[in-house]
Amino acid sequence: MRFTKMHGAGNDFVVLDLRDGRPAPTPTECARLAHRHFGVGCDQILTIESPRSTGAVASYRIWNADGSPSGQCGNGARCIAAWLVRDGSAPAQGRFSIESPAGLHPVRHDGDGGFVIDMGRPRFAPTEVPLAGVADEHDEYTRVLDGETLRFGAVSMGNPHAVIEVTDANGADLARLGPLLQGDALFPQSCNVGVAQWLAPDRIRLRVYERGVGETLACGSGACAAVAVLVRRGRVDADREIAVELPGGTLTVCRDTRADTLFMGGPAAFVFDGTTRFQE
């Protein structure tokens, strides 16, 4: 099977074209493909498939490095857009739409070789995140885990996110905090855990520990989740473009106040093309 290795701000992917009807890789195959020593190596596998809805040029699914499925991936969406443009399936100019497991996403070129993706509306209702055993929506939730009191916002951007505001994102012990919250019963589908540091009304610093992967160099849906939580708290300006500094690069997030949707922009890079054979 042919594949393309891509990345968006260091968040890397193996892209497979399944529009000929071949089946998606099994969880075992995904894990082997994603392995950085015995496979191609990536954070997620993206499978391009025929469109499910009218108006989309293609649909795609997301598989984490451990083989588990994901509902959304913002950096992956930009890479899918770039792949489809290179393939000729999407226009090199103008707008088009792609479809993730979370829904339809309009796409536009950003003028710098990257793409801006409509990531949809942040969903804070406990049933939509989802959160277990929580009836009322709160801006901040508190859990005592491993003897530590953690305070965080919770939001879905197509997949669940917990956002912890910290004074120093680089110094936060994300390798410990991530698994703590991901394994908590509050999150029945686990979650992506972000540590967000406020820098200015239009700039934050962020690191994300993704479910099924671990810490990644960038997380597009995590950037949107962090902005959504900090907008609610009045920490960042909802009417401005917010720069989100991640270890692998900077993404931009802006809000359409009329529709209450978030748009996320950034680079999409091709690394190499190759061929692989799946072996169970």
Each residue's pLDDT tens digit, 213-241? 999 999 999 999 999 999 999 999 988 99
Q: Are 91 and 147 contained in the same domain?
A: no
| Marked catalytic residue, from 30, 79, 219, 254 | 219
Q: Rounded to the nearest 10 degrees, how much is the dihedral formed by the CA atoms of 241, 182, 133, 148? A: -90
Structure tokens at 93: 């100019």
Q: What is the pTM of this model?
A: 0.95
Q: Are 150 and 213 contained in the same domain?
A: yes
| Marked catalytic residue, from 73, 79, 191, 254 | 73
Q: Is pLDDT above 60 for 280?
A: no
Ranges of H-type helices in the chain: 27-34, 74-87, 174-182, 220-232
Catalytic residue at 191?
no
Q: Are 86 and 176 contained in the same domain?
A: no
Q: Is pLDDT above 80 for 3?
A: yes
Cis peptide before 179 (omega within 30 of 0): no
Give me the pLDDT at residue 101, please. 94
Q: Are 253 and 216 contained in the same domain?
A: yes
Give me the pLDDT at residue 109, please. 94
Give me the pLDDT at residue 120, please. 94
| Residue 277 or 201, more confident | 201
Give me the pLDDT at residue 113, please. 82
Give me the pLDDT at residue 239, please. 86
Q: Are 220 and 247 contained in the same domain?
A: yes
In a domain, 128, yes or no: no
Q: Are 145 and 252 contained in the same domain?
A: yes
Q: Are 171 and 193 contained in the same domain?
A: yes
Catalytic residue at 79?
no
Fill in the DSSP letter of residue 139. S
Give mean pLDDT, residues 66-71. Answer: 94
Q: Model confidence over 189-217: pLDDT tens digits?
A: 999 999 999 999 999 999 999 999 999 99
Arithmetic mean of pLDDT over the chain: 95
Structure tokens at 223: 């950037």
Give mean pLDDT, residues 40-59. Answer: 96
Q: Model confidence over 88-98: pLDDT tens digits?
A: 999 999 999 99
Q: Are 221 and 114 contained in the same domain?
A: no
Number of domains into which the chain is organized? 2
Give mean pLDDT, residues 136-147. Answer: 95
Greatest CA span in the chain, whole angstroms?
A: 54
In a domain, 131, yes or no: no
Structure tokens at 265: 């922009």
| Residue 113 or 41, more confident | 41
Q: Is pLDDT above 80 for 21?
A: yes
Give mean pLDDT, residues 153-173. Answer: 97
pLDDT grade for 111, boundaries at 50, 70 and 90: confident
Q: Is 226 helix (H, G, I), strand (E, B) or coil?
A: helix
Give me the pLDDT at residue 40, please. 96
In a domain, 133, yes or no: no
Give the DSSP H/E element, type plus range, for residue 16. Answer: strand 11-17
Q: Are 102 and 154 contained in the same domain?
A: no
Q: Are 247 and 184 contained in the same domain?
A: yes
Give me the pLDDT at residue 257, please. 80
Give me the pLDDT at residue 279, please. 62
Q: Are 167 and 101 contained in the same domain?
A: no
Q: Is pLDDT above 90 for 259?
A: no
CA angle (21, 25, 31) in 5-degree steps: 165
In a domain, 14, yes or no: yes
CATH code (residue 114): 3.10.310.10
In a domain, 152, yes or no: yes
Q: Are 17 and 109 contained in the same domain?
A: yes
What residues does 116 pair with on adjacent strands?
A: 108, 265
Taking a C-beta distance cutoff of 8 angstroms, is the pair 182, 211 a contact? yes
Structure tokens at 35: 């392995």
Q: Is pLDDT above 80 for 274?
A: yes
Please state the length of the chain: 280
Domain that holds residue 88: 2-118+267-275
Q: Is pLDDT above 80 for 278?
A: no
Give mean pLDDT, residues 124-128. Answer: 97
